[in-house]
Amino acid sequence: MAIGDQDLPKRLDRARALNAIASINEGALSSESAPLLLVKDNIAVADMPWTAGSGLLGDVIAKRDAAGVRLLRAAGANPAIKTTLHELAFGVTGANGWSGDIVNPHDPRRVAGGSSGGSATALALGLGDLSLVTDTGGSARVPAAFCGVIGFRPSMGRYPSDGLIGLSPSRDTLGLMARTLAPIRWADEVLSGEDAPHGGSAGAITIGVPSADQLGETEPAVAAALDRCASALTSAGYRVVTCDLSAANALDEECGFAIALHETGQSLMSSVPQLTGRGLSLSSIATDEVRDLVELALGGAAVSPQAYAQAIGQGWPALQRAFAAVFDGGIDFILQPTAPLVAPVLGCGETVLLNGSAQPAFPTITRYTRPDSMAGLPSISLPAGCDDAGLPIGVMLTARKGSDARLLAFAEEAGKAFSQQG
């Protein structure tokens, strides 16, 4: 989308109405004709607000571009719009008591997902060509699934990491969102410095799908979408088999929460004073569940130093080995739902309804995106149709660490197969 698109003002108005826009560089927007890059507001763009969606950082202006922004700008993108997020990127619904909850463009009664909900909503409205976001435990993929766009998380360490207001250094990474794969593949080459193959995925491919017992409870429409996608891949000539993720999932349950919570407390205690010159004030966090989580992280009682040391020193490497064993066993890509349900209702807080039963929001929504995030694997959420109410569903492909280019090439083939299946 060129900046001069005549429909741009209408798209901006719609995105603002759904609380998807954090700030705009009006001069760049009016004077440039480059492709429009949306940037999540926990990533630095020079001379623009850099708030992480919180009054805690509400007066911070970035002095320079984050390295990822700088690379994409040098390659021709125009980072003129900052998008909103779940406050401090610490959640997966898009809740934000400071800037307003982010609204799903497919149903104004539903959440956009988080934490990169503003980018997903804006892209679904046709605003921007590409968004640079972050992903800690699903933040690039969950909102993409809820809003019907594509969300990509690269292997840990593939993209530069400076210029982020992060949470957990063990799994924070830049990510990408777009309506089609072409901008994501272009940006991946720019950010990684790796020339990606564009001729599809050559050779025999085996896709592993966990059993229904391992997947756990899902909404019927989500289960049906996964079955359709698996059938589409089979019809396209790929081998689809059952894979066992029980060891990886169990290890993530053991170590993932301890690592994330401990590191989040340390990260915020460091970044907030560094950026603002002030201490971290809980009263400046406007979203109740975010404030509660930050207080828990800062308290130290939830995760002792000993528990963190065991999780990061033993559980984390064991989790990485468990995933490696799955791929060593002949699996090229893992296929799962991105989330077990479609977008929950706005204002759901810490609880969502799954088939009529109240469930804790964060662990339920991130059931499939947490383990591969903790293991540092590349993963992509692709649109997989809608439920009967027209709410988007996403399915997710995950690959061995370092095989990002191969995953993106296969995702292109998989997307074609899914669309042919209808």
Catalytic residue among 23, 40, 168, 170: 40
Contacts for 167 with CB less than 8 Å, ≥ 6 apart: 88, 89, 90, 136, 260, 263, 264, 267, 268
- Is 181 in contact with 418 (CB distance < 8 Å)? no
| Ramachandran angles phi, psi of 247, nearest 5° | -65, -45
Alpha-carbon gap, residue 285 to 301, rounded angstroms: 21
Reading the block at residue 118, the tokens are 């503003």
Helix ranges, 178-219 (H):
181-192, 212-215
Residue 54 bears catalytic tag: no
Reading the block at residue 364, the tokens are 């339920």
Catalytic residue among 54, 115, 155, 381: 115
Catalytic residue among 23, 54, 139, 267: 139
Using DSSP, state whether 44 is helix, strand or coil: coil
Contacts for 203 with CB less than 8 Å, ≥ 6 apart: none
Residue 139 bears catalytic tag: yes
Within 10 A of 27 (CB to CB), how many other CB atoms are there? 9
Query: Between the CA of residue 7 and those of 3, 16, 24, 36, 159, what are the distances in Å?
Result: 10, 14, 16, 13, 33
Alpha-carbon gap, residue 110 to 93, rounded angstroms: 9
- Is 133 in contact with 175 (CB distance < 8 Å)? yes
Residue 119 bears catalytic tag: no
Name the residues annotated as catalytic.
Answer: 40, 115, 139
